[in-house]
Structure 1
Amino acid sequence: MNRHIQLGIKELGAYYRNGTLNPQVVTDFALDDAVKLKSLNAFIRLMPEKALHQAKESTFRFQEKKPLTPLDGVTIAIKDNFCTKDVQTTCASRMLEDFKPPYNATVCERLMEAGAVLIGKTNLDQFAMGSGTVDSIYGPTKNIWSENLTSDDGWRITGGSSGGSATAVASGICFAAIGSDTGGSTRNPASYCGVVGLKPTYGLVSRHGLIPLVNSMDVPGIFTRSVNDCALVLNAIAGPDSRDSTTIKTPFKPIELDLEEDIRNIRIGIPKEYHCPGLSQDVQETWIKIADMLEDGGSKVKQVSLPNTSASIFVYSILNQCEVSSNMARYDGIEFGLRADEESSTEQLYAKSRAEGFNTVVKTRILTGNFFLLRKNYEKYFEKALKVRRLIANDFDEVFKSTDVLLTPTTLSEAPLYKDFSSQSNRDQCAIQDFCTQPANMAGIPAISIPIRLSNNGMPISLQLMSRKLSESTLLKVAAWIEARVDFNCLGNKQIYEARK
């Protein structure tokens, strides 16, 4: 096993500066590992030529002692719903199978400006609609922590929709990865795969070049193996963007974390509504343990209430499908997307292109969203959902008057076996898996999932922290304090996997 994958980003930079390692060697290892571990199906496609060119330039900068940023020479993967210039960006769907964008997403652009090495595009549920990374035209992504990766029914899901990015980091292929988060699509797979997953404040990171799912909730997310690494990636990609009118105009102040973080007097809230049906004993015990640890460390821990949480998943489902129906309308086979072999009429061309290009999950959400937006239903469903969304956001505003950070589960259980997960509908899966995560998207607040321990089945158990808008510094501070005390090994199963090969 390549020992450098155990390093943090700052440690890697120190090795680059003293000449122990160089970006070309590390990039070669990353590309080799991606091929060796291809059965995980983390990547839709690798970008070896671009990656090796970026690594060569980075190596030269370190030889000249002129690295650009702490991310110079760091290998990073990108979810395949972020545009990459002249590289196919498919959203794991036939509809965009041959799409090569003429520009880079702002997130990709800023990472390259920081000197990062982008090694490839990662797998996802089609158009990021799902919570398992099982609905891709390229096949499902498997969880590196699975007890049996070769048996058809013995492997576990990664979570979704950013499961490819989570697996790329959890398996040690790269140091960080970018995902997207609409209702938990970064935090959910981060939880199941035992890595750190951050959803920043809505508007803190540009959505320019992120192919939209739900414009009012989509946020680029970050996967890393440590909280400090997460802060370094956030520092590189956050900030205003003139090409995205939804970005916050205030300049972003880089976050620096102290190894000796002090959490005394930080107010921690435990929302009682998150003690919900389906919460596993493993997760509940972990939640109690960390709450006690925070209290012992000097934090003020108390129970709080978010009374509209019970309505959250219904509101999310309505708004998600309404915005999906609007966003998917552009894929007509003429202006954008797959064009079917149909010449009888324009209407038939539209119908056949969409029938061939979209899977059942996407088509169902489009149809349902159009139903909600019908004139006779608009007020009953869409307008009412918007009003309840405001109540949910108000709940968070109210609770943050007396607390600084909320501590909750990320997911209700460890990663399910694929055979159990696939027996449910996509809608039911999302309703269960996103219960704890999607309220943060509707309120636009930052949230992070951090791994805590292994379950009785040897699978990662994670918890979620949420805080008020633009308080990523406090959020990461508390997360780093917890991380330092639980000492979870995010790469614990790579050795097991390679020994089985």
Structure 2
Amino acid sequence: MLGRTLREVSVALKQGQITPTELCRKCLSLIQKTKFLNAYITVSEEVALKQAEESEKRYKQGQSLGILDGIPVAVKDNFSTSGIQTTCASNMLKGYIPPFNATVVQKLLDQGALLMGKTNLDEFAMGSGSTDGAFGPVKNPWSYSKQYQEQRRPQSNRKREGTDWLIAGGSSGGSAAAVSAFTCFAALGSDTGGSTRNPAAHCGLVGFKPSYGLVSRHGLIPLVNSMDVPGILTRCVDDTAIVLGVLAGHDPKDSTTVQDPVKPFTVPSLSDVSKLCIGIPKEYLVPELSSEVRSLWSKAADLFESAGAKVIEVSLPHTSYSIVCYHVLCTAEVASNMARFDGLEYGHRCDVNMSTEAMYAATRREGFNDVVRGRILSGNFFLLKENYENYFIKAQKVRRLIANDFVNVFNSGVDILLTPTTLSEAVPFLEFIKEDNRTRSAQDDIFTQAVNMAGLPAVSMPAALSTQGLPIGLQFIGHAFCDQKLLTVAKWFEKQVQFPVLQLQGLMDDCSSVFENETLPSVSVKQ
């Protein structure tokens, strides 16, 4: 049951094959069995069980709220949840309990979804590996897949070093790990420069970033207001479309959302792609791209071409400036957004027996990690009066050029852009942390962050397994507010490649031997 799609489970619930409470308990059990992944910061067990009981009553009375009624979901821990701790994986907000739900969370709950818990991330979503949070790193479920184990070591040698595991990607790595390990059927992430698509690629999932303004940001604790969007992580395109249909639309609490009513999202099965024009950006063929990803990218283009689609090389000439531009704009907005965490109203506060200025400094030093403090310092430097024109204003101008590159390509007749999502498959933790956070993020966001600066929809699709048995994702980019068309093409691609399901089942029965040297992180449970 846990490996089925949202629609299949919804049908099973309606037909009484399983009850919401039984389904909820199965997911809670698996959360505990896979706690070594550190996917969750807070498990809302009692909340979820209460929601399941209410859902069960509705089903018995024939009053189901819809397709999500009784479906377990998870939410990244930078979305506000009423009565449930929201930390952003930071000591600054450890113990903070919001008085309201983020709009996207409320929409899920209004449809009867069961909130299993809040998922782990890089602190304040600043990172690309989910390794820099206050609650420890997230482990990629594929580290423990049968495919990867067979490639990495003989069956006779099951012991492993405690750090011999793969990153989940970031910053929404907890949400990706939660879905990939079958502890929920869908999860919310946030996407500022690729933070949903990156972990989706590493964990073999569909990771969708909607057009900016299609989904409300109200209650999403901001990183970069002008680029942040709620993202969706699922195991198939149809599930993504179902969740998007619930979340999309105008929100009076968010002035950046679309004003016009949003039509229901349906993703038809596309049988003929001969009228499509697929663009391949030549600037994305960078030297750092692994040979396996490069080969898979080429094969995907050939797949479309052999099916009758027109595949052409296109140019996004300002791509080489996008990482630097993104860094300036990101840190500038971070500096502004993080100013609210001063120890006065909510969150961490240091010893108050000192001057106000000293209390500010000490609170922020204790509450933020080095990554967050570094971005705040960089952003404040760029925003200094003597630097503002040379850095922030120029970056805004470059951002416009980058956005115009996409507009020009789509106006030339291209329907969808096909690119890699990441430079390579997921890498081992010890290899990942050799580089500092800023360098890692610049490398990992190379194919994804320009989309956020342009406000376009994009989706990472699991395309194939590498020679090591690990997922490789490819990215599809669409024109602004053509999200439905983008998902329709992605669904066609999904059907062609038939990506395999992660084989974790059975492995859980002998966790003690496989994870003998693993340090199992504690998981807090909301009572």
TM-score over 0.5 for the pair: yes
1:430 paired to 2:427: no
- Once the two structures are TM-superposed, the CA of residue 491 in structure 1 deviates from its matched residue by 2.5
In the alignment, which residue of structure 1 is the partner of 2:200?
190
In the alignment, which residue of structure 2 is the partner of 1:23?
20
Give 3-state SS (helix, strand or coil) of 2:141's partner: coil
1:293 paired to 2:303: yes
In the alignment, which residue of structure 2 is the partner of 1:310?
320
1:339 & 1:297 partners in 2: Cα distance? Answer: 60
Correspondence 1:117-196 to 2 at 5 A: 117-146=114-143, 147=148, 151-196=161-206
AA paired with 1:55? A
Correspondence 1:18-417 to 2 at 5 A: 18-146=15-143, 147=148, 151-401=161-411, 402-417=413-428
- Whether the 8 Å CA contact 1:318–1:369 is kept in 2: the answer is yes
1:442 & 1:471 partners in 2: Cα distance? Answer: 17
Give 3-state SS (helix, strand or coil) of 1:453's partner: strand
Q: TM-score, normalised by structure 2?
A: 0.93
Map Cα deviations across residues 250-289 of structure 1 (whole Å, 9 max, x no partner). Answer: 1111221223543221111000011012100110111111
Give 3-state SS (helix, strand or coil) of 1:44's partner: strand
Map Cα deviations across residues 23-53 of structure 1 (whole Å, 9 max, x no partner). Answer: 1111000111101100000000111111111
Identity between Structure 1 and Structure 2 (%): 53
Give 3-state SS (helix, strand or coil) of 2:165's partner: coil
Map Cα deviations across residues 290-337 of structure 1 (whole Å, 9 max, x no partner). Answer: 111111122111110000011000000000000000000011111232
AA paired with 1:460? P
In the alignment, which residue of structure 2 is the partner of 1:454?
465
Give 3-state SS (helix, strand or coil) of 1:376's partner: coil
- Whether the 8 Å CA contact 2:179–2:186 is kept in 1: the answer is yes
Correspondence 1:460-471 to 2 at 5 A: 460-471=471-482
AA paired with 2:307? G
- Once the two structures are TM-superposed, the CA of residue 467 in structure 1 deviates from its matched residue by 0.5
2:301 & 2:508 partners in 1: Cα distance? Answer: 33
- Whether the 8 Å CA contact 1:170–1:490 is kept in 2: the answer is no
Deviation larger for 123-132 or 246-255: 246-255
Q: TM-score, normalised by structure 1?
A: 0.98
1:478 paired to 2:492: no
- Once the two structures are TM-superposed, the CA of residue 343 in structure 1 deviates from its matched residue by 1.8
- Whether the 8 Å CA contact 2:78–2:86 is kept in 1: the answer is yes
AA paired with 2:21? Q
- Once the two structures are TM-superposed, the CA of residue 500 in structure 1 deviates from its matched residue by 4.8
2:112 & 2:272 partners in 1: Cα distance? Answer: 32
- Once the two structures are TM-superposed, the CA of residue 495 in structure 1 deviates from its matched residue by 4.3
Map Cα deviations across residues 342-390 of structure 1 (whole Å, 9 max, x no partner). Answer: 4221010000000000000000000010000001100010000000000
2:401 & 2:387 partners in 1: Cα distance? Answer: 21
- Once the two structures are TM-superposed, the CA of residue 76 in structure 1 deviates from its matched residue by 0.3
1:261 & 1:220 partners in 2: Cα distance? Answer: 30
2:273 & 2:115 partners in 1: Cα distance? Answer: 35
- Whether the 8 Å CA contact 2:270–2:488 is kept in 1: the answer is no
AA paired with 1:209? G
Map Cα deviations across residues 474-497 of structure 1 (whole Å, 9 max, x no partner). Answer: 110110001011111233344445
Pick from 431, 441, 446 the counterpart of residue 420 of structure 1. Answer: 431
2:170 & 2:87 partners in 1: Cα distance? Answer: 16
AA paired with 1:15? A
Map Cα deviations across residues 74-109 of structure 1 (whole Å, 9 max, x no partner). Answer: 110000000000111000000000211000000000
1:12 & 1:429 partners in 2: Cα distance? Answer: 38
AA paired with 2:10? G
AA paired with 2:424? S
- Whether the 8 Å CA contact 1:40–1:141 is kept in 2: the answer is yes
- Whether the 8 Å CA contact 1:8–1:226 is kept in 2: the answer is yes
Map Cα deviations across residues 111-133 of structure 1 (whole Å, 9 max, x no partner). Answer: 00111111100000000000010
1:15 & 1:304 partners in 2: Cα distance? Answer: 46
- Once the two structures are TM-superposed, the CA of residue 405 in structure 1 deviates from its matched residue by 0.4
- Whether the 8 Å CA contact 1:206–1:238 is kept in 2: the answer is yes
Deviation larger for 466-475 or 290-299: 290-299
AA paired with 2:60? Q
2:142 & 2:350 partners in 1: Cα distance? Answer: 40
- Whether the 8 Å CA contact 2:142–2:502 is kept in 1: the answer is no
AA paired with 1:90? T
- Whether the 8 Å CA contact 2:422–2:473 is kept in 1: the answer is yes
2:43 & 2:260 partners in 1: Cα distance? Answer: 35
In the alignment, which residue of structure 1 is the partner of 2:10?
13
- Once the two structures are TM-superposed, the CA of residue 195 in structure 1 deviates from its matched residue by 0.5
Give 3-state SS (helix, strand or coil) of 2:201's partner: helix
